[in-house]
Structure formats: C-alpha cells, structure tokens
A = this chain, B = another copy of it.
Amino acid sequence: MSHHLTQAVRDCIAACNDCATECGNCFSHMVGNESPNDCPACCIECAAICRLCADALARNSPFAKEICELCAKVCAWCAEQCAAHDMDHCQRCAEACRRCADACRAMA
C-alpha cells in the first residue's frame, strides 16, 4: 500500500530538507549585519517553502507538484542572492538551493 514515497520523492524531500538547513544556518550568520542584497531575508522565504514542499511530498498532497514548481523559483532566487557573498555558509547555501531547485523542477 506504499503508493508513494518512491526514491525520486524521497530524494526531492532530502534536497528540500538540506536546503532548509543551509538556509537556516546562513540566516543565523547573516542576520543582524548589513547586507547589500536580499540575503538573509531570502533564506527565510526559501526555508519556509522548502519545509512546506517536503511536507506536501511526504503527505502525497494533490498540490505537491505546484508547490514544487513554486519552491524551485524561490530556491533559484535565494541561490542568486547567497552566491553573491563569499562566506562559506552563503556558498554552501547557494549550492543547496541550486540542488533543491533542480530536484523540485524535475518533480514539477
């Protein structure tokens, strides 16, 4: 009766979770400092939709694909903001965002 949670779904959930973690970490290092662009506000938006996306996939939501599609857009935007900063946590975050955007696009 395991009608979902295929490996592809599990991989996308993992990419969402990893992205949310790196966004949370990036946020914690950047918040309270001046920023020339949307980081770390983007990390909060991105983590929030990644969490919703992971949950929707796990629950086999009828809207999972549409959430993945929107999640991919938010991740791509966040990747761009964070990639513009040199710090290790920003670079790691940008990487995780890109991987999540790819995974979500493949699912959508």
Using A52-B49, A70-B70 as known contacts, say yes or no to A29 and B1 having CB atoms under 8 A apart: yes
Could you say which residues of chain B place their CB within 8 Å of the CB of A31?
A: 31, 35, 40-41, 44
Looking at chain A's contact residues, the main secondary structure is helix
Cβ of A77 and Cβ of B56 under 8 Å apart?
no
25 contacts between A and B (CB under 8 A): A2-B88, A4-B25, A17-B17, A20-B55, A21-B58, A24-B57, A25-B58, A25-B60, A28-B41, A28-B60, A31-B35, A31-B41, A31-B44, A32-B34, A41-B59, A45-B56, A45-B59, A45-B61, A45-B63, A48-B55, A48-B56, A49-B52, A51-B55, A62-B77, A66-B73
